[in-house]
Amino acid sequence: MSSKILIIGACGQIGSELTYKLRNLFGDDNVVASDINTSNLDISNTGIFEIVDAQDFTSVKNCVEKHHVDTVYLMAAMLSATGEKFPEKAWNLNMNSLFHVLNLAKDKIIKKIFWPSSIAVFGPTTPTKYTPQYTTTEPTTVYGITKQVGERWCEYYFNKYHVDVRSIRYPGIISWKTLPGGGTTDYAVEIYHEAVKTKQYECFLKADTELPMMFMDDAIKATVDIMMAKPEDIKIRSSYNLAAISFTPQQVAASIKKHIPDFEVVYTPDFRQDIANSWPKSINDSYARQDWKWKHTFLLEDITQEMLFQLGKKYNTISKTPQ
Ligand code: AKB
């Protein structure tokens, strides 16, 4: 019998692309997409879709039982920037939803969980360059605190109750299908949209703010790969460091200018600058590369080409194929 998958938070930036990928890999009948509302019609109108409130245990459990789900991808979360505006809401959403799925697995109602962590688990006392897997984690954002504590709980449920939970620490994710919402790394998506639409962008981070980033296709590949790996190969049950590339706003702007020479960026840092300053500039992900053979594909120039091509089609500003 094939596995039955539930994605919670399927309308969001990563959830939506994960839904397309999992439907593709396992068939539309084996993938249940869910979210708190139908904000992404491309997801809710194109396959099995349920309204699920990730904070409500009964809502999650009913959906799991109705569809005989054995694997849950918990993608619902409040991200770093929004979390600073609504600390208690961020705590409640990020922690309650995690406990609900961990407890469903503890009670053997589901078998396997994917839960995303983030580079936000790191803080100002963490070494910023090539940040190791095991190091000081003193996050300064509520989002980071929920991810750090969540990692501890994942490992605890694995050790105490043999819950098969797998996790990666996502860097900033760049994609063109669904906009991100409420993160500090969102500038790296917005900049492409504005380059294509208006040839101008006001960046909320300083020009030289270096952060770890990854193209969506690589992030989805990592997510699927860690979930398909043999249980014995998943040696870290808190969360794996994961890396692809690192760049600054100035570097993305320069790579866009190669294609759109009159693109202009002004830098007006806001409260998100402090968050970015507290995060690593680059990540050492050697455990992921060793344990489950993680390898990234997309470099900055590849990402720029693909983003400008896809957004050009979306906004009707180009008709040529990428070189
Ligand atoms: C954010 O910026 O909050 C997220 C993240 C790095 O987890 N994209």
What are the tens digits of pLDDT across the range 1-56? 678 999 999 999 999 999 999 999 999 999 999 999 998 889 989 999 999 999 99
Is pLDDT at 320 greater than 70 in this prediction?
A: no
**% of the chain residues with pLDDT over 70:** 98
- State mean pLDDT over 218-237: 98
Q: Which residues contact 170 (CB under 8 A, 6 or more apart)?
A: 14, 116, 117, 118, 119, 214, 219, 242
Question: 274 — alpha (psi -120 to 50), left (phi > 0) or beta?
Answer: alpha
Task: Give CATH for domain 4-168.
Answer: 3.40.50.720
pLDDT at position 1, please? 60
Cβ contact 80:120 at 8 Å? yes
* pLDDT of 61 above 90: yes
The CATH H-level (homologous superfamily) assignment of domain 173-213+243-314 is: UDP-galactose 4-epimerase, domain 1 (3.90.25.10)
For residue 120 and ligand 1, the question of a CB distance below 6 A is answered with yes
Query: What's the rounded mean pLDDT across residues 83-109?
Result: 98
Tens-digit pLDDT profile for residues 116-169: 999 999 999 999 999 999 999 999 999 999 999 999 999 999 999 999 999 999
Q: How many of the other CB atoms lie within 10 Å of CB of 87? A: 15
Nearest atom in ligand 1 to 141's CA: 3
Q: Please choose, from the candidates 185, 169, 217, 231, the residue with its C-alpha nearest in 3D space to the C-alpha of residue 18.
A: 217
**Residue 322 pLDDT > 60:** no
Q: How many CB atoms lie within 10 A of CB 88?
A: 9
Residue 50 C-alpha to ligand 1 middle, in angstroms?
Answer: 26
* Ligand 1 centre distance from Cα of residue 172 (Å): 5
The pLDDT assigned to 317 comes to: 80
Q: Give dist(CA 63, CA 56) in Å, integer.
A: 11
Q: List, for residues 244-282, the tens digit of each pLDDT value.
A: 999 999 999 999 999 999 999 999 999 999 999 999 999
The yes-or-no verdict on residue 230 having pLDDT over 90 is yes
Catalytic residues: 143
Please determine, for residue 318, whether its predicted confidence score (pLDDT) is greater than 70: no
Query: Which residue owns the Cα nearest ligand 1 atom 1?
Result: 183
Q: Where are the domains of the chain?
A: 4-168, 173-213+243-314
* Phi, psi (rounded to 5 degrees) for 102: -60, -40
CB neighbourhood size of 52 (10 A) = 25
